[in-house]
């Protein structure tokens, strides 16, 4: 882990698109909450309810190739979604980057890091 960033790498036994992975997990219970499928910029992501604007557990492809994939990353990041990109960029600009400090420090950051690990363990237990 590097300064506020925790990443777990999940390898599945078969390949999934993000939509297929979402279908496989959408009805499961996770410590991080109920998963949702969203798009961030042009990339599909599976996200969990955010703790705040800077701390959200997310599942993304872990390979630099076209879908489907069998490697995924579970991490925490700023709230994803097309409507949040502009808000995050504006806040970064207006505050000279200070708006994202809670994404690195604080109780919610620590909780999000713990949820990354729990989510990884819960996904592994599903035997995908």
Question: What local confidence, expressed as pLDDT, does residue 52 receive?
Answer: 87
CA distances from 37 to 22, 53, 58 (A): 7, 18, 10
Of 13, 73, 6, the C-alpha closest to 43 is 73
The predicted pLDDT at position 15 comes to 96
What pLDDT, on a 0 to 100 scale, did the predictor assign at position 40? 77
Query: pLDDT of the chain along its 128 residues, tens only?
Result: 445 578 999 999 999 999 999 999 999 999 999 999 998 777 899 999 999 888 999 999 998 888 899 999 999 988 885 565 555 555 444 555 555 555 566 788 899 999 999 999 999 999 99
Nearest-CA neighbor of 58 among 66, 68, 43?
43
Residue 16 pLDDT? 97
Residue 79: the pLDDT is: 84
């Amino acid at each position: 882990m590097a300064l506020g960033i925790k990443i777990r790498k999940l390898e599945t036994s078969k390949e999934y698109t993000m939509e297929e992975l979402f279908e496989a997990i959408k009805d499961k219970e996770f410590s991080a909450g109920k998963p949702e499928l969203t798009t961030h910029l042009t990339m599909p992501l599976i996200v969990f309810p955010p703790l705040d604007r800077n701390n959200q557990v997310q599942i993304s492809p872990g390979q630099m190739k076209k879908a489907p994939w069998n490697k995924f990353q579970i991490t925490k990041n700023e709230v994803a979604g097309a409507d949040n990109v502009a808000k995050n960029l504006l806040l970064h600009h207006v505050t000279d980057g200070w708006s994202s400090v809670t994404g690195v420090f604080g109780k919610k950051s620590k909780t999000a890091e713990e949820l990354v690990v729990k989510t990884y363990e819960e996904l592994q237990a599903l035997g995908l």
